């Protein structure tokens, strides 16, 4: 039996930074996010060999592990090694294949979706029951604590639950609140949004380090981002989408204050161009520094914004919302 899964990537409308420890433990955090139809795909194929072979189809990387000593972290497929070790699946006799619709550093949560996908494959192979919250917690520990890839707490939950979620971080508790949004509102939001790749990948760890170094100075800014996130959620639930777009703009102004490398000349240029030609608001995805940007545009000027952004090196990416979370299945 062959095990497969697909883990959706995500867009975060507001709240990044408030889910990065120690802020949520000390002040509580909130994020408003949604899954999209870009995925990390995974396959686990049992074999007769007493080894583990991992293939990254994106980067043409193949690694073979025959003993637990081979599973040392060296920057090469460490997420997979950590998941194997955490779930005690190092006895081997299977191959894992991975493919992602977006590269690391995209700001769409691809590394977290990869961690979720690998954990999902292994627990299905082991026939190990896990709730959605347990799956997210294991993937978080694998990525953040074992491999020590820096970032917030939201990504693993978004890819597992899918759809639109208002996620609360209350002390050491995480509460996922799925939002029941009318389909007409979802379609209207899709009609206004524009996603583009800046042409630059980011160094997320450096940005998180800067944010932590500025932590005490950032607390008031993070509190304001929390307030804006609540406001954006309310505008989305009440179909006040133009105000939703305006609040994206305000959220971006505060987000830029958290660390100097969140933005740069290219990002600022693209943002100014978008605003000049019909974007109401927008922001960088993820920690910042590169990757994807999201804009809310006036519906009759969205094509102008796209055209101008492409003239200046951005790449427009088509997407739709994904209302389902991670999906797994078996085949022969």
* 246 neighbors 280 (Cβ within 8 angstroms): yes
DSSP track, 285-306: STTSSSSEEEEEE-TTTHHHHH
| Catalytic residue annotation | 155
In angstroms, the CA 187 to CA 331 distance is: 34
Q: What is the rounded CA–CA span in Å between residue 253 and residue 231?
A: 15
Q: Which residue has the tokens 């299945």?
A: 329
Residues 70, 90 contacting (CB under 8 angstroms): no
Is 317:199 a contact under the CB 8 Å cutoff? no
Q: Token match 């003993």: residue?
A: 67
- Give me the helices (H) in 141-240, please: 155-161, 183-192, 204-213, 215-237
| Residue of 108, 99, 63 whose CA lies nearest to 84 | 63
Q: What is the C-alpha separation between 289 and 259, in angstroms, rounded? A: 10
Backbone angles phi, psi at 294, to 5 degrees: -120, 135
Please tell me what DSSP assigns to residue 317: -
């Amino acid at each position: 039996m062959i095990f497969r899964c697909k883990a959706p990537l995500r867009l975060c409308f507001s709240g990044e930074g408030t889910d990065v420890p120690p802020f949520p433990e000390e002040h509580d955090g909130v994020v408003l996010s949604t899954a999209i139809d870009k995925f990390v795909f995974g396959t686990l194929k049992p074999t007769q060999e007493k080894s583990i072979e991992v293939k990254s189809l994106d980067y043409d990387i193949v690694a073979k592990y025959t003993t637990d000593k081979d599973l040392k972290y060296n920057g090469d497929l460490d997420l997979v090694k950590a998941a194997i070790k955490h779930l005690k699946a190092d006895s081997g006799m299977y191959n894992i294949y991975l493919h992602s619709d977006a590269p690391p550093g995209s700001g769409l949560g691809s590394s977290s979706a990869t961690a979720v996908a690998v954990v999902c494959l292994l627990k299905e192979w082991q026939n190990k029951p896990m709730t959605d919250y347990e799956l997210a917690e294991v993937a978080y520990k694998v990525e953040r604590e074992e491999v020590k890839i820096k970032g917030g707490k939201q990504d693993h939950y978004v890819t597992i639950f899918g759809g639109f979620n208002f996620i609360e971080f209350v002390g050491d508790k995480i509460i996922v609140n799925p939002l029941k949004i009318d389909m007409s509102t979802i379609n209207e939001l899709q009609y206004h949004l524009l996603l583009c790749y800046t042409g630059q990948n980011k160094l997320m760890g450096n940005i998180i380090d800067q944010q932590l170094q500025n932590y005490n100075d950032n607390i008031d800014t993070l509190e304001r981002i929390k307030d804006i996130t609540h406001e954006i959620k309310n505008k989305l639930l009440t179909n006040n989408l133009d105000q939703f777009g305006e609040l994206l703009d305000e959220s971006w102004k505060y987000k830029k204050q958290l660390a100097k490398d969140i933005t740069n000349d290219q990002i600022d240029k693209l943002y100014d161009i978008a605003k000049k030609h019909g974007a109401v608001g927008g922001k960088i995805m993820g920690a910042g520094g590169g990757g994807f940007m999201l804009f809310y545009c006036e519906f009759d000027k969205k094509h102008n914004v796209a055209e101008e952004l492409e003239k200046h090196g951005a790449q427009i990416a088509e997407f739709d919302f994904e209302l389902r979370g991670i999906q797994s299945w078996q085949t022969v």
